[in-house]
Structure 1
Amino acid sequence: MKRGILLFVFTSILQLSFAQKDLERKLKQMHWDNAGPEFRQMKAPDRWKNESAVILATRIDYLGSFGRVRKSFTENIVIHYRVLLQDKASVREYSELTFNKNKITTNLIGKTNAYSFVAIKIVKPDGKEKEMDLTSAVKTDIGSEKDSKMAVPDLDQGDIIDFFIAIQSKDSEAPNITESDLLEEKYPVVYKQIRFVVPRQIRFNSKSFRGAPEFIKNQQGKDNIYTLIDTMRGRAPEILWDFPHRSSAEVRYKITNGKAVVHEDEALVARDALQNFDYNNQDIRYIEDFVHQISGKGKSQSAIVKEIYYLLRSPIFQKAYFNIEQGSPMDNHYVSERFFFLLNKYMKRYNIDHEIMIVPSRNYGPFCDLVNMSSCDLLLKVGKDSGFYLSRPTPFSIPGEIPYLFEGMEAVLAGYPKSITSSRINEQIPVSHKESNLTYSRYNLCFDSSDLFKVKVKRDVTAKGNNKAYHQYLIFTNHDYLREYDKPQYQSFSYSELKALVNEYSYLREKSEQQTDQENYERDRRVEVDIELELDTKISEYKNLTIKSAGMWEDMPDTEYSDEFIIDNATKKAGKNYILEVGKFIEKQTELSEEQLQRDRDIHMGFARTFNSEIMILIPEGYIVEGIDNLNINVSNAYGGFISAALLEQNKLVIKTSKYYTQNHCSAADWPYMVSFLNAAVKFSKSRILLKKL
């Protein structure tokens, strides 16, 4: 019996080995030996001779086919690149490759059933080719367990790296595929082809944007062939405030089984998806138990819903409903759609007016431009016209706050009870204003009388709205967060399983107490590095970080903190006098390169916002200040501005600045208006004052 098993295993290994070698030979012949002329090119066009690398050719092929009597569907995908390396930077980039190791599986009679295969060769300038031996690759942990990496030795400028990835898979039915392809890549592309060969029963729909070519349809036997060819495409530009999927040449396509219902407008898909809330069977006993504990305090329905929001954001209920571990709440885990179903179920049961919405993201565009809903998310609106929104909870989110990527977009909605939205099915999401997203920084500077090179700094920071998140993750620790939920209403429940989670929370909170010193040390170093980066200086003796408000509760919605530090070399000696680079205290500014001054793409920013600073400098005894007039600047227009004013009050110099952006979007034609106040802020950031010895 054992001999029979061993013989079967040995025979299977031989079959696998022979099948793999035969497959490798066929794939290399197809994609290397029989490749089109574009994959034999050796030189880049003259216009791109100064680029780091040039993609001479790239091709993506998708071949789908049904098995006998349509009981299975086979997909063959090949991605092929030929890249000319023109400088040391691109040589370094390709000197180590990460890929998915070759794999092949067969059925019992030795016929290839599925595979993934990678082949790489180096082409020298004289045409000599060297194929890479992938058996020398080592496994990595950067992706799946199959990921491998290998060094590419003897790679030089002028070499070409030519590689392809071939994948075959089988399933019981044809898949539904939606994809978005940006035609611009990191390097210029001489020739690009995307081709789909699918049975006529398969539907193919595509949309081309911003100068991208269309797919051309042809027929071959029982198949339809859709081909897109793009040539001489420049590299993706490195520009500020860009949503590539709203500004670059792009094709979006959808492949669907002929049986599937296909909507041209994804808004109709969204409306269908919202019908799932009509069949909501979520268990809300835990929520009702919590509400029972707090309902005797005369709270309104809206207030109760907000309390439920905070509950579902808590470590205990993140574990109870979303299976998210309690110990690291700052990791910003993804909360599933169950959150919306839970709230919807509660509000329907207790007759609270609300609407469920699906909203497309600004960085992909409105529903009419989409081919899938991967860029969309759900929102809840509690109440009618003057109601408030609830988004998917993150560690610091507050009821009423809207993720900025959904601001201004038109949502599809369904209301409960049904009668409240009988006359409308869409809503435009509000847009936050510059006053709502504000950072205020106050610096108090005092010189060391014995050493005027040193400046003692006391800082106070307040952040509001969308400006908060940066500061919250900078100054808060897991221990701080767990302590925020150490409140009676989040620890008193009737159900034994919740009591067990409360005990787990208490254990983890106490455990975090033991790690407080280390967490605080790491946090202080993090803040210290941030200050040095923003002020472009070195600091010492960082201390007394005091968090006045985390900004995670509605009654204290702003993030507020203060700290102290010393700048050891704040001034430069000029004879008997000292020079202070006072402009640095408005923190790091956006300095545009010559290339960035010209722009032909719209500006897509996160949100309108304001940054206010107040710098108070105590003038050392025996000195006066010169250069104050240079600190007064006023550049403002419809898109934003930078304003600064300096005033000497006895022995104290007070400087106030405000930099603001009025909108989250600006057309390319209006970019010069933004440049004007951006440059004004940069100019101020380089300002100096002279402390002149009397």
Structure 2
Amino acid sequence: MKRKNFLLILCIGLSTIIYSQSKKDNEILNDLIWGASNNTVEIPEKWKNESAVFLLKSIDYTYNRPHNSIEYTRIIHEKIKLLDQAAVSDYSEFKYKKNNSYRSYGTSIVKSKFTLGVKIIKPDGTEIIVDSEKVIEEDDQNKLAIPNLEKGDIIDYYFHTNVIMGENDLYHYEPVEDIVNEIYPIMDYQFVLNTEKDFFILFNTFNGAPKLKEEDLNLKKNRDRVRKYSFNMKDVDKKESQRWFYPFVELPSYKFQVNFARTGKYEKRAYAFIPKEADSIKSIIKKEDIFEFYTDKFRPYGDLGFVSQFLKGKTFASDEEKVKAVYYFIRHKFFTNYIEAYVFSEAKIMNAFNYYGYNPILFNKEEEFVRYFAAFLKNEKIDYEILIGSNRYNGDISKLLLESNAEFVLKVKTENPIYIESFNHYSTVNIISSQLEGINAYALKVTDQKHIDDIETTQLPKSNYKENNTSDVIDLTISDDFSTINVLKKSKNLGQNKLDEQGERLMFYDYVYQDYEKYGSLSVLDYVKKKKDKDRYEKELDALILNLKEKQKESFKKLSANEFSLELEDYDFKIVNNGRFGKGDAFEMDESFKINKDLIKKAGPNYILQIGKMIGGQIALEEKEKIRENSVFMSYPRSFSDAITLKIPEGYSVEGIESLNFDVVNETGGFTSKATLEGNLLKIKTMKFYANNFEPKENWSKMISFLDVAYQFSQGKILLKKN
């Protein structure tokens, strides 16, 4: 189905031997699912002008234990009335993963099966069952065409997923998080959860979704304690995607996780948030639960031999400087030190890990990093706290339900507190994830650098728009024949803006060899003793890097072309500084390119230059976007500064610069621009900023005021008039 591009993947992610679904099995499922479906076909008058309306959206999860196995079944059943041609087109095709399988998984046998059922109900009541076996196989997915679909039709379909695992004493199913609303209205939304004995449930609904209720099954004998829970919603309005919006914070939603533990001893080994009894549902994770759960998980632990060797003979002006230095060292020692080896292996040049003689992967989870760094802090007698929060798009920490939603930050209590997270190749001390900035969190209080003995609520720091800045200096020179404009651009990025750019642009060779030199590490080729082998590997690596650099250059060119919405020629770039060693260490890059006739147009003896485009694309709000019902959630406060210099061609003067001057600033942000003429140089300075990472919907009109003028500037033109 084009609208959702249903690529359904089993929670355990296994791909194995495909086997066929029998026709009889399909018929049984058809009777089971369609036989119980309601027959409503009329929609409310208020939704007559919608593109489509869900008559029914039903989701049914079942976790049970046949014999010694455990079984998982999910049925998504949707019944939708198509009211215009756009909806007909959206539902003219279903796509889904090929994931029927049978295989051995550890000590268990895993059998998984997926079934799709589709039927069309015509306005006169005629039902046409689509043959779901007539699929077209493409790579790793199946594609099913839905023929003869027309306006007014009802398409009634289900996705049935079943997974049976062999003997398991302890198993954590993947957590489920879902929004009730769809892009079309829903007349009837039904949710059902079925479980049996030894399945432990975390479940809660949010933002107006009904609470889960247990149904009375009236079973005389219920040795396995079969349980059925459900909630239902009627007349759910549609919710179209919109800019700067967090659905799980404001829309009706639910989250749950099911854990299986066969006996009491396995319950104790579950290492997960679970209720004390299997026949109860845990819906809230309290501060006390967090304390109890994480107290033992964060005991300092790790072999500090490499750190001690690094620190030997070094002196630092403060503990703060020592902590930063060690963080960047272990980022290299246990991560960037092995990236080149991964490159060798992925490119099939050689198995580079053979030269290291031990498993290079030290931190598979964030908790492992926290424990290791805590061990270093304990060894150095530096106080710290462990902060536990959740990404802003999940809602406040008080609504935390799933362990997978927990995030960790170390607060090192130096004179100027240091905040650090587990590392990646460009992570920086005191720049935490933007999704954690300013959130409420739980602080695990640590005494003697090892004992967690208390917990309290705290707040993580938040950056400001000046810290998260991108500054561009752009020089424009028009060719003598006015056919091209030569552009030199110097960019400097700080804060969260820097992290975005680094994540999108840095390749391994942009930092790995710098790290080798800084820390005296050996490259992979340094381990190779045979000259013949070394020469061959080096040649292959050089060829690989050359190819990657070409692709990197093409990628950068596309990024800049998209930024300016222009075609670029003769593109080149240079990373001046990768910005990986400190909050104030900027990511800097130089670019040069030519723009042909897209930017300048001849007008008689004169030329019109669309100079406003040089600040990059700006948001063009549609009228429907200017009416907002929800709060504004942005990633982080940020700012963008541009200094543009245009050399006016000899024999020409410039007109229209007054139209490039704007000044709109309020508490939500602003856009200012100033154009001046200094001799034969037109100089333009602009500044756009978003003051906060959140605005209540009442402030949306204030944001519109500066967003609109920024877009107006980007459309600005000047006239180069022939003297």
Shorter-normalised TM-score: what interval?
A: 0.7 to 0.9
Aligned to 1:681: 710
Aligned to 1:365: 395
Query: 1:251 aligned to 2:254?
Result: yes
**Contact 2:335/2:425 (CA < 8 Å) preserved in 1?**
no
Structure 2 distance, partners of 1:506, 1:149, is 48
Aligned to 1:210: 207
Structure 2 distance, partners of 1:172, 1:631, is 69
Structure 2 distance, partners of 1:227, 1:302, is 53
Query: 1:225 aligned to 2:219?
Result: no
Structure 2 distance, partners of 1:264, 1:247, is 18
1:186-585 matches, cutoff 5 A: 186-199=183-196, 206-221=203-218, 222=222, 223-253=226-256, 260-261=275-276, 262=282, 264-277=284-297, 279-292=299-312, 295-298=313-316, 300-314=318-332, 317-318=334-335, 325-326=342-343, 336-337=365-366, 338-384=368-414, 386-418=416-448, 425-448=456-479, 450-487=480-517, 489-491=519-521, 511-543=540-572, 545-554=573-582, 557-569=585-597, 570-585=599-614
Q: Which has the higher helix share?
A: 1
* Long gaps (5+) in structure 2: 1-18, 104-108, 262-266, 268-274, 277-281, 347-360
**Contact 1:263/1:269 (CA < 8 Å) preserved in 2?**
no
Query: Which amino acid in structure 2 is aligned with residue 489 of structure 1?
Result: Y
Give the alignment partner of residue 158 of structure 2, picking from 148, 164, 170: 164
Aligned to 2:74: 77
Compute the displacement of 1:50 (Å): 4.3
Aligned to 1:29: 31
| Inter-CA distance 220–324: structure 2 relative to 1 (3 Å threshold) | farther
| Inter-CA distance 75–491: structure 2 relative to 1 (3 Å threshold) | closer
Query: Which amino acid in structure 1 is aligned with residue 585 of structure 2?
Result: P
| Inter-CA distance 202–527: structure 2 relative to 1 (3 Å threshold) | closer
1:610-638 C-alpha deviation (Å, 9 max, x unpaired): 11111111111222221122121111111
Aligned to 1:4: none
**Contact 2:610/2:718 (CA < 8 Å) preserved in 1?**
yes
TM-score, normalization by structure 1:
0.84
Query: Which amino acid in structure 1 is aligned with residue 431 of structure 2?
Result: E
**Contact 1:84/1:161 (CA < 8 Å) preserved in 2?**
yes
Indicate the SS of the match to 2:296.
helix
Structure 1 distance, partners of 2:62, 2:592, is 64
**Contact 1:479/1:513 (CA < 8 Å) preserved in 2?**
no
Indicate the SS of the match to 1:184.
coil
Give the alignment partner of residue 178 of structure 2, picking from 178, 181, 184: 181
| Inter-CA distance 516–624: structure 2 relative to 1 (3 Å threshold) | same
Aligned to 2:351: none
Indicate the SS of the match to 1:630.
helix
Structure 2 distance, partners of 1:473, 1:180, is 27
Query: Which amino acid in structure 2 is aligned with residue 30 of structure 1?
Result: L
**Contact 1:121/1:129 (CA < 8 Å) preserved in 2?**
no
Structure 2 distance, partners of 1:101, 1:444, is 53
Query: Which amino acid in structure 1 is aligned with residue 233 of structure 2?
Result: D
Structure 1 distance, partners of 2:663, 2:75, is 57
**Contact 1:360/1:373 (CA < 8 Å) preserved in 2?**
no
Aligned to 2:695: 666
**Contact 1:608/1:664 (CA < 8 Å) preserved in 2?**
yes
Compute the displacement of 1:376 (Å): 2.0
Structure 2 distance, partners of 1:298, 1:281, is 24
Indicate the SS of the match to 2:438.
coil
Query: Which amino acid in structure 1 is aligned with residue 305 of structure 2?
Result: R
Compute the displacement of 1:139 (Å): 5.2
Structure 2 distance, partners of 1:375, 1:527, is 33
**Contact 1:600/1:669 (CA < 8 Å) preserved in 2?**
no
1:52-83 C-alpha deviation (Å, 9 max, x unpaired): 44322121123445667xx6655443221223
Indicate the SS of the match to 2:295.
helix
1:525-558 C-alpha deviation (Å, 9 max, x unpaired): 2222222222222222223x22221111228610
| Inter-CA distance 282–247: structure 2 relative to 1 (3 Å threshold) | same
| Inter-CA distance 300–384: structure 2 relative to 1 (3 Å threshold) | closer
1:120-159 C-alpha deviation (Å, 9 max, x unpaired): 22315244333343444455555xxxx5444444444444
Query: Which amino acid in structure 1 is aligned with residue 548 of structure 2?
Result: E
Aligned to 1:3: none
Indicate the SS of the match to 1:537.
coil
Structure 1 distance, partners of 2:639, 2:125, is 58
Indicate the SS of the match to 1:459.
strand
Structure 1 distance, partners of 2:522, 2:548, is 29
Structure 2 distance, partners of 1:285, 1:273, is 29
TM-score, normalization by structure 2:
0.81
Indicate the SS of the match to 1:430.
coil
Structure 2 distance, partners of 1:520, 1:322, is 17
Aligned to 1:8: none
Indicate the SS of the match to 1:62.
strand
Structure 2 distance, partners of 1:535, 1:616, is 16
Query: Which amino acid in structure 2 is aligned with residue 612 of structure 1?
Result: S
Aligned residues: 654
**Contact 1:616/1:653 (CA < 8 Å) preserved in 2?**
yes
1:81-118 C-alpha deviation (Å, 9 max, x unpaired): 22334445444444442335585989xxxxx9966341
Structure 2 distance, partners of 1:662, 1:302, is 29
1:603-618 matches, cutoff 5 A: 603-618=632-647
Structure 2 distance, partners of 1:538, 1:319, is 36
1:251-290 C-alpha deviation (Å, 9 max, x unpaired): 3346567964357335434323432345454333344344
Structure 2 distance, partners of 1:633, 1:78, is 56
Compute the displacement of 1:247 (Å): 1.8
1:576-633 C-alpha deviation (Å, 9 max, x unpaired): 2211112111110011101100001000000001111111111112222211221211
| Inter-CA distance 505–48: structure 2 relative to 1 (3 Å threshold) | farther
Query: Which amino acid in structure 2 is aligned with residue 240 of structure 1?
Result: R
Structure 1 distance, partners of 2:606, 2:671, is 30
Query: Which amino acid in structure 2 is aligned with residue 568 of structure 1?
Result: N
| Inter-CA distance 490–355: structure 2 relative to 1 (3 Å threshold) | farther
Q: 660-669 or 419-428, which moves further after superposition?
A: 419-428
**Contact 2:204/2:284 (CA < 8 Å) preserved in 1?**
no
Structure 2 distance, partners of 1:403, 1:578, is 46
| Inter-CA distance 657–508: structure 2 relative to 1 (3 Å threshold) | farther
Compute the displacement of 1:181 (Å): 2.5
Query: Which amino acid in structure 1 is aligned with residue 30 of structure 2?
Result: K
Indicate the SS of the match to 2:516.
coil
* Long gaps (5+) in structure 1: 1-15, 107-111
1:478-510 C-alpha deviation (Å, 9 max, x unpaired): 3223322231524169xx9x9789x99999887
Structure 2 distance, partners of 1:250, 1:424, is 29
Indicate the SS of the match to 1:672.
helix
**Contact 1:99/1:148 (CA < 8 Å) preserved in 2?**
yes
Across the aligned residues of Structure 1 and Structure 2, the Cα RMSD in angstroms comes to 3.8
Q: 419-428 or 668-677, which moves further after superposition?
A: 419-428
Compute the displacement of 1:204 (Å): 5.7
**Contact 2:384/2:411 (CA < 8 Å) preserved in 1?**
yes
Indicate the SS of the match to 1:220.
coil
Query: 1:133 aligned to 2:153?
Result: no
Aligned to 1:119: 116
**Contact 2:93/2:144 (CA < 8 Å) preserved in 1?**
yes
